Structure 1
Amino acid sequence: MTTTPADIDVRRITDAELPAWMRAAKTGFLRTPTVTEADVAARRTAHVGSRTYGAFDAGTCVATFRSFPQELTAVGGTAVPADAISNVAVLPTHRRRGILTRLMTEDLTAAKDRGDVVATLIAAEYRIYGRYGFGPATSAAEWTIDVPRTGLDPHWPGPGDGGRIDLVDPEEVRKIGPELHERLRRGRPGAVSRTDVWWDSDTGVLRVFGEWSEPFYAAYRSADGEVQGLVSYKADDHWGDAKQPLNTATVDWLIATTPAAERALWRYLCSIDWVVRVKSGPRAPDDLLPHLLPDPRAASITTQADWLWVRILDVVRALEARTYGGSGSLVLEVTDRSGFTGGRFLLEAGPDGASCTPTGRGADLTLDVAVLASLWLGDETAPRLAALGRLGEERAGAALEADALLRTPGRPWCPDMF
């Protein structure tokens, strides 16, 4: 007999239930469901500080959900507390029974009570999370570089700016990576914090995902010795006829705090012997990469899609946390069917900061909280959303005024998957 929603027990899991939770998560993501003792031990360490939920049908774990503390950089550099959501899976035998809604509601309620300003996630499927108030807030693009077409000198001797590139080992990455990333995220809207667990997982100390294959790491140091860039990459072993190398270098991640470091690291990747193709991994959609090449057409976009999704839990704190491109005021009517936030707000912004207060004045713009999330980091524009019918312009010209206020010099970017 099929169980009813009332028969499903949704709650935080116990430590003893972690192996069953992991098996359900792997099954939901179509991965081999085998769970070893080493897998459990690694997950147990990785989940310290997390909120790990499960849904149980007669004692069997049929859905998984996890959240953990995070910081998200708003426009202008302020970091706001975020509820990062991951490992969301419902088994195919138990879909369409409201299980995800119950899990999401419990977690977001707790996040709101804690005082988190937003919740974040990377959406595997586009159509799931809008109904919970999430909106796509950053985008990502991935390029494939045809190295012989770039016009770059194949005999590149290294950076010509006094800096240098060194191959480094995982231990060195754990020493220099966290501080470099902190400098990056403080100046990059959309960037999120990385924990020690993140660095331990990436460098093989913690095998959260089972077998780990050590990548290559290269660091760029400026002329004065400061680490300004770091890249993790792998390479395949592919040879064509007549012993011609046809290898591809695939970037896991590349972070840089200066254009010089970014230029040098991409130049380095395109100079590696035997490599004829470089895959960039997810980058900002307005990344410098193509135009760092003599022939930008040598870098073709192979993926362009939404990336970080944001759910605003506190409209006032979210809008007051960011900076604005000009001065002005707007009245926003924000709807939130879940009731976590929303209402009518007067936003008054200028070079010295912004205030956002409840108001009884007539609305200039009406929008759902998910649409506000797409505007908040500057990846969307109010006129575009109005043209799509996702934003109501109640006063003529208000969308253009909102665009002038919310516009950012560059598009936001989240370098991380979580």
Structure 2
Amino acid sequence: MASYRQRSCWSELPRDLISSIAKHLDSRLHVLRFRAVCSSWRASVPLPPTSPTFPKQLHFRINYPTNKPIPSFLISQMNVYRIRPPGFEAPSDQNCWFIKVEETKQQNKFCVLSPFSRHPIKNMPASFPRELNHLSFNVEETVQAFSIRQRKDPDYAVNDNNPLIRKIKLASDFVSSNSAVAISRGNLCRLTADDRGNMCYKFDSNIKYRDIAYFNGKFFIVDLYGVISVRDENTFYLEEIRSPLDPMAPECERYFVESCGHLYLVVRDFDICGDQVYYYRKIDGFVKETGDDHVPVKFRVYKRIPCCGVHQQNKYDWVEVNDLGDQVFFVSTDCSFSFSAQYSKGCHGNCIVYVDEITDIEHLLNKERCEEDNDNDELWELKNGKVGLFNLADHSSGPLELFPEYLAMFWPPPTWLTVDRGSSSS
């Protein structure tokens, strides 16, 4: 009885105190979780409005000669959430599931995307709930990302899911400035606004870039050979440049990952593949020769740390690490993030879940199109073995389907999620 009275006191807090606490919550998700505690808290704190910023349509003029019409772009926000069932079980007994969604113009509505690409899942299982009740699940935001697509236009033939736009990162004042950095066809582009409207500045097209990160108010960019540059988000002034981490750096896939307040660079080393894999400039991607079924997999991870010496040219250095602790890194050209394995039953840290970006040259020459939909059983990437797991400790690897504990975190939706737990706005 005493414990019951103690719990009931939370619902009897003064409304002005509840409102004051809610003002210190820094995200819409936190406000929703706060309101889900009890009916009195929901009555004291209004439902937070969705951001009217996204999806956002922009028209960018470019800074190099062209006879083509000015294309229209649509920038959308994507979020990856980790969902866990309610309760207070020990971490070793818990499960979690990652869901990636794209915001829509409709309040509290979102589109479910494949966890391995930016494509919507058109055929979700019939048992998948139409609403996610915050009273029924523990929901945590893992990463926020953005996609940019060229809109279909009668005068400008483009693909709505244009794969040539590899990655985009927005400045902190994007709502007012429209300032962002994107990689398109391997080229570094700065999107900004001036007195003449929205502009797209294209930089040296001879350098092919692989990834961008927005970290501590700065843009971090890495190219095909591992050269890392740091630019101010407002002036885009080049503040720092780091030569390749490997003096003989080959052409490799490279991904930035933020984890536990630090920035990491994950490198998929194609140097061990010999002539099996090579960079194909025309598509800005890696391809493999026909007939080579198995491609060796190797990843290296570098951590950004402050330099110790006073005579160092750069303030920070990148050192190779072989132990990520309980963290699991997820990397893809779409978005990358890290998470702790302690809430995932049967899983351990110090490994990398990756989406294989290698294209088969035979399919490429035959112009075969990859189907991005699912058939209610497996997503396209899983059916075709494009998702794998790499153990950083012993360098072992294999398709994600060989590791059911890890696979269960991404697909299919767990049974505890599909059970109807009541209706409430997501």
| Greater relative contact order, per chain length (Cα 8 Å cut-off, separation 6+) | 1
TM-score, normalised on structure 1? 0.26
TM-score, normalised on structure 2? 0.26
Bigger share in helix: 1
Bigger share in strand: 2
